[in-house]
Structure 1
Amino acid sequence: MKQVHKSSLHSGDSLAHDADDCLYDPGVRSVMAEFTLGAETLDLEAASAVRAAHHSIERLRNRGAAGRGLSTGAMDLLIRLNATAGEPVSIGDLARAGGVSSRNVTGLVDTLEREGLVERVGDPHDRRAVLTRITMAGRNWLDTYRQPTQRAMAAVFRGFTPAELTLLRHLSLRLVENQQRIERHLEQQDS
């Protein structure tokens, strides 16, 4: 059985610099070269790097929430509810804003409600509808989470210039835009 190469991003080994002085992961490059049978690997290496960066950021975010017992999804939902200045929001609106399903948001609201961080309230315009809003305990939770999160993000992006952060944001959102375009195309094919 062949040896499985671990990505140096996950095994703690160091990264390398290519001829243009850009970072790359030799383990990922090797595995991808074998996977592609020697064809170009740059897009696959980039996808792996994006995934590794995502995992790194999530590990730091989760560390900032350590002992607070909330998932990343629940934290994101709480942050979104806080941004509404106490105005209640529908599950559907929260789902669309977060790019997730209403079912997913309902589960997150259930968790946050059990913790006393959000509450469900009736919709004054539609007796059948239920809205969600952040509680004072939810705002207090965010207050204790804010500084560790800001410190963690400042540390992970240390050395990045504002122009680099803007470019990183732009390129990441181009990936999202491409994925959404692909999804729309596939949905059109299916119908």
Structure 2
Amino acid sequence: MQYGTDDDGLLYDEGTRAALTAFAGEEALPLLEAAAAVRSAAGAIEHLRSAGAEGRGLSAGAFDLLVRLSLSGEAGLPLGELAQALGVTPRNVTGLVDTLEHKGLLRRVPDPADRRSVRAVATDDGLAWLATFRAPTRMAMEAVFAGFSAAEADQLRDLCLRLVQGVRRVRSR
């Protein structure tokens, strides 16, 4: 990738800009280029995250699920609630729970309030896995975002979540 700087001093990927201009023309370029940059950034962060997992073998979804469970204590969370919280389908959560259960990082328990429901609870091994992953994750993210002010990081978070909302609007049509 070869980066250039536009007239406003903002970075752009020269190859992506040329390809998208040929594909859709100048008028559509800003939005398509922004979408391409989001994909590139997400891919780069995911690559860094998976490399930092050092063979621990958890997907981003499984990691997010385990983090949510670590906050829920001994009660755990119903699988349906986990699916909603993570913005995925119940079937997807079932697969993530299967994987984490197989690795010994969580266990399924019956829901005392609803016999038809199952809850997931982080095991001691799951909590220990998160504890060992916490410091390297923090150091990596501090390095990645070293050139960002707190306000810029907040703005980036807001923009990304607004993108998620936009995608949900399009999907719900």
Higher mean displacement: 116-125 or 84-93: 84-93
- 1:128-159, Cα deviation, whole Å (9 max, x unpaired): 22111100000000011111111111111111
Aligned residue type for 1:58? E
Contact between 2:69 and 2:77, CA under 8 Å: does it hold in 1?
A: yes
Alignment of 1:126-141 (within 5 A): 126-141=114-129
In the other structure, the counterpart of 2:97 is: 109
Alignment of 1:30-179 (within 5 A): 30-179=18-167
Residues of 1 paired with 2:132 and 2:91: CA distance?
28
- Alignment root-mean-square deviation, CA: 1.1
Matched position secondary structure for 1:85 = helix
Matched position secondary structure for 1:75 = helix
Matched position secondary structure for 1:159 = coil
Q: How many residues align?
A: 173
TM-score by length of 2: 0.96
Aligned residue type for 2:123? T
- 1:27-86, Cα deviation, whole Å (9 max, x unpaired): 000000110145441100000000000011111111121211111111111111111123
Larger helix proportion of the pair: 2
Match of 2:169 among 178, 181, 190: 181
Could you list the structure 1 runs, at least 4 aligned residues long, displaced by more than 4 angstroms after superposition.
none
| Bigger Rg, which one | 1
Aligned residue type for 1:69? G
Residues of 1 paired with 2:112 and 2:40: CA distance?
45
